[in-house]
Amino acid sequence: MSNQPEWIYSDKVKDHFMHPRNVLEDESGFAADGKGVIGNIKCGDEMLVVIKVDKSRGVITDCRWRTFGCASAIASTSVLSELAIGKTLEEAYKLGSKDIAKALDGLPEHKIHCSVLGDKALRAAIEDYYVRNGLSDKVARQKEHIVCQCLGITDQEIENEVLEGVRNFYQLQERDKIGTVCGKCKEKAGALIEEYVKKHFSGEA
Amino acid sequence: MTKRKRAVYLDHNATTPLHPQVQNAMRKAMSVFGNPSSLHQFGRQARKLIEDAREEAAAFINARPEEIIFVGSGSEANNTVINLFSCQGSRSCEVPCLDSCRKEIITTSIEHPCVLEASACIKEKGTAVEFLGVDNYGKIDLKQLEEKVSGRTGLVSVMMANNEIGTIQDIGRISRIVHEKGALFHSDAVQAVGKLPVDVKALDVDYLSFSAHKIYGPKGVGALYVRKGAPFCPFILGGHQERGRRAGTENTLGIVGLGKAVAMRREEMKEEAVRLASLKKYLKEGIEKNITDIQFNGHPQDSLPGTLNVSFSGAEGESILLYLDMEGIAVSTGSACASGSLDPSHVLLATGVRQSQAHGSIRMSMGRDTTMQDIEYVVEKLIAVIAHVRKISTVSTGS
């Protein structure tokens, strides 16, 4: 209907929400080479991503998922699965929330941090693949670690936020909503901010 | 999903469409532009409309016309009452202000945010505020209330019917307990007036808030009942309107709408409540029979006739809401996603619903235009939507 007011998300989000791609239907039949789970249904979002890998070429040949979450969580995991298939493990590992948001023609700002967790689930699946195949050294080289379990916020993201001006936990919380669910990460996140501020801005007062 | 599509509005607790008769009354009143405070004929014409509406509203809850103050919303009515307690006594007070030794208010953890926020605000200004918990059905514990109300308590505020889960409190018993300790009692009856019989004298309340747009009246107008002789201090200052209790030129058109809405409720409410209760029973059974791993929230009996709140395990509320929206069905959710915060409904959490269940909750609130065909359609679509959401969810259920 043309007289319908605009939907809250882009048409691309709507399309992926209404017609999700690559949903994992039969987990036991899929025989995944790598599996990653991120989030927590207590927090409102949980994602599972499984991959199949062409071992000789190191390329993701299939990527399936399941998501408990809102429309943007579902659409973002769906579009991520399309982005991941055909990429090398290294390329896929670099996919981030910005790539997902871009592929969806944008997402509301407040939705990016709380609902776009698929990229992290994919990285977890890739790491799982590395571990299963005796390539654990590759995992160690990927320095990112999750700090806030509920929202999947990583140390690298915190470092980026510091570079963009965040100086304490509360400023970070304003932007990322970190620690607003269970609050367990507050101390760790605070210490990291201090560390990154020292690392990048030790010259400042 | 099938092509069959209709528009089914099941969000009457959020707001309601204007009753056709209310529209007529308001259309007529649109040409009345005089300031009700003016002494000339234009003013008197507006004044007459307002006072007629006041009589209508007062009679509906068994109050006297002079006990009704028209305000801008249910939220304003609630804020006005909660803020009485930060009053230190001033020239604006129409009655001597509250006893200074009674500087504590008690409310509940399932109130509307306007009561919770107003209470949090006066707490910062030095008023002690206590929050009563509720049981799994959303009822407050009367024993706990009895223990908490003391000689220090100035006001107790308990909502009559909850907007999210529909649970109705035993207001008469609560007011008795409160008055025995000499405190004042307020009830936010925004979801109750016009859906249940409300008699302020029988219930013995000192203050009571209600709103027009929840009962097929216009938005932007509400009413506050203040028992004759109850302490009062205006929230909005600077005018003699509403007997000096609420400054600002009266919203004549809105007040006419409220009056007509109440008049129509008087005619239709009783029959509608019976009809909605049977629709709700059908909806509840339809869900129960066809969808596994569900949980109904709220009180099984003492509940608003048209309100049903249900949690679906493994399905997230905003997704359910938006998939239903695609089928033309409008509902609301207690999921965090829809609210823009990360916490699911404070009401559901207060009733002991687990966070994961609260994220998967849907509220369906029916009204005068809801038909049996609508409910059949909703059950049919809900079965398909829940199956779909669960299929793509990380949480597998037994279905």
Report the alpha-carbon distance of residue A129 to residue B38 in Å, rounded. Answer: 81
Shortest CA distance from B315: residue in chain A: A68
- Chain segment B42-58, per-residue pLDDT in tens: 999 999 999 999 999 99
Residues of B in contact with A71 (CB under 8 A): 318-319, 322
Asked if A54 and A21 sit in the same domain, the reply is yes
Residue B252 makes CB contacts below 8 A (sequence gap 6+) with B29, B32, B36, B46, B49, B50
Task: From the candidates A43, A63, A148, A150, give the one annotated as an active-site residue.
Answer: A43
Where does a domain end: A104, A119, A142? A142
Asked if A202 and A174 sit in the same domain, the reply is yes
Give residue B1's pLDDT: 47
- One-letter amino acid at B196 equals L
Report the alpha-carbon distance of residue A105 to residue A19 in Å, rounded. Answer: 16
**Statement: residue B304 has pLDDT above 50:** yes
Size of interface A-B (CB pairs under 8 A): 72
Report the alpha-carbon distance of residue B322 to residue B328 in Å, rounded. Answer: 10
Asked if A52 and A112 sit in the same domain, the reply is yes
CB distance A74–B335 less than 8 Å? no
- One-letter amino acid at A22 equals N
- Domain annotation covers residue A46: yes
- How high is the mean pLDDT of chain B? 93
Report the alpha-carbon distance of residue B116 to residue B164 in Å, rounded. Answer: 15
In this structure, what CATH number is given to the domain that contains residue A82?
3.90.1010.10
Asked if A136 and A161 sit in the same domain, the reply is no
- Domain annotation covers residue A189: yes
Burial class from Cβ neighbours inside 10 Å (0-12, 13-18, 19+) for residue A5 reads exposed
- Chain segment B121-174, per-residue pLDDT in tens: 989 888 899 999 999 999 999 999 999 999 999 999 999 999 999 999 999 999
What distances in angstroms separate CA B258 from CA A132, B166, B215, one per listed residue? 68, 22, 9
Asked if A99 and A130 sit in the same domain, the reply is yes
Higher pLDDT, B87 or B398: B87
Residues of B in contact with A44 (CB under 8 A): 316, 335-337, 342, 344, 355, 359
- Domain annotation covers residue A196: yes
Q: Would you list the DSSP string of A19-38?
A: S-SSB---HHHH--SEEEEE
Asked if A25 and A61 sit in the same domain, the reply is yes
Asked if A97 and A175 sit in the same domain, the reply is no
Shortest CA distance from A23: residue in chain B: B392
**B354: closest CA of chain A, how far (Å):** 8
**B316: closest CA of chain A, how far (Å):** 5
Report the alpha-carbon distance of residue B213 to residue B11 in Å, rounded. Answer: 12
- Domain annotation covers residue A89: yes
Low-confidence ranges of chain A (pLDDT < 70): 1-5, 113-114, 140-143, 177, 179-182, 203-205
- Domain annotation covers residue A54: yes
In this structure, what CATH number is given to the domain that contains residue A202?
1.10.10.1100
Among A22, A49, A70, the strongest candidate for a mutation testing the B interface, having the largest count of B CBs within 10 A, is A70
Told to judge if A43 belongs to the known catalytic residues of this protein, a careful annotator would answer: yes
Asked if A38 and A111 sit in the same domain, the reply is yes
The DSSP call for residue B18 is P
- Chain segment B252-276, per-residue pLDDT in tens: 999 999 999 999 999 999 999 999 9
Residue A69 makes CB contacts below 8 A (sequence gap 6+) with A39, A44, A45, A46, A47, A115, B316, B319, B337
A106 φ/ψ sector (left φ>0, alpha ψ -120 to 50, else beta): left
Where does a domain end: A122, A142, A162? A142
A75 in contact with B, Cβ within 8 Å: no
**A7: closest CA of chain B, how far (Å):** 10
What distances in angstroms separate CA B148 from CA A154, B141, B166, B356, one per listed residue? 45, 11, 25, 32
Q: Which domains does chain B have, with CATH numbers?
A: 8-17+269-391 (3.90.1150.10), 20-264 (3.40.640.10)
CB distance B356–A180 less than 8 Å? no
Residue in A18, A23, A41 closest to B391 by CB:
A23
- Domain annotation covers residue A132: yes
Number of residues that make up chain A? 205
Asked if A28 and A115 sit in the same domain, the reply is yes
CB distance A23–B355 less than 8 Å? no
Residues of B in contact with A25 (CB under 8 A): 391
**Statement: residue B113 has pLDDT above 80:** yes
Give residue A4's pLDDT: 62
Give residue B342's pLDDT: 66
Residue B146 phi, psi (nearest 5): -60, -40
Give residue A114's pLDDT: 67
Residue A163 phi, psi (nearest 5): -65, -30
Give residue A205's pLDDT: 45
Q: Can you read off the two tokens belonging to residue B52?
A: 């007629």
Among A10, A23, A68, A113, the strongest candidate for a mutation testing the B interface, having the largest count of B CBs within 10 A, is A68
Shortest CA distance from A176: residue in chain B: B342
CB distance B342–A110 less than 8 Å? no
**A184: closest CA of chain B, how far (Å):** 15
Asked if A188 and A198 sit in the same domain, the reply is yes
Q: Would you list the DSSP string of B214-258?
A: GGTS-SS-EEEEE-TTS----SS-S--HHHHTS-S---HHHHHHH
Q: Indicate the number of domains in chain A.
A: 2
- Domain annotation covers residue A1: no
**A128: closest CA of chain B, how far (Å):** 18
Domain that holds residue A135: 6-142
ipTM of this complex: 0.84
| Angle between helix A155-163 and helix A169-176 axes, rounded to 10 deg | 100
pLDDT tier at B85 (50, 70, 90 boundaries)?
confident
The percentage of chain B sitting over the pLDDT mark of 90, rounded to a whole number, equals 83
pLDDT tier at B201 (50, 70, 90 boundaries)?
very high
Shortest CA distance from A109: residue in chain B: B340
CB distance A69–B322 less than 8 Å? no
Told to judge if A148 belongs to the known catalytic residues of this protein, a careful annotator would answer: no
Give residue B398's pLDDT: 39
A67 in contact with B, Cβ within 8 Å: yes
Query: B196 near B214, Cβ under 8 Å?
Result: no
pLDDT tier at B4 (50, 70, 90 boundaries)?
low
Beta-strand ranges (E) seen in chain B are 8-9, 68-71, 104-108, 128-132, 153-157, 184-188, 207-211, 222-226, 294-297, 307-312, 329-330, 332-333, 361-365
Asked if A165 and A70 sit in the same domain, the reply is no
Asked if A117 and A169 sit in the same domain, the reply is no
- Chain segment B216-246, per-residue pLDDT in tens: 999 999 999 999 999 898 899 888 999 999 9
Which single residue is written with the structure tokens 């009942």? B225
Q: How far is CA B170 from the centre of its chain?
A: 16
- Chain segment A107-151, per-residue pLDDT in tens: 887 777 667 888 999 999 999 999 999 988 887 666 677 787 777
Give residue A22's pLDDT: 96
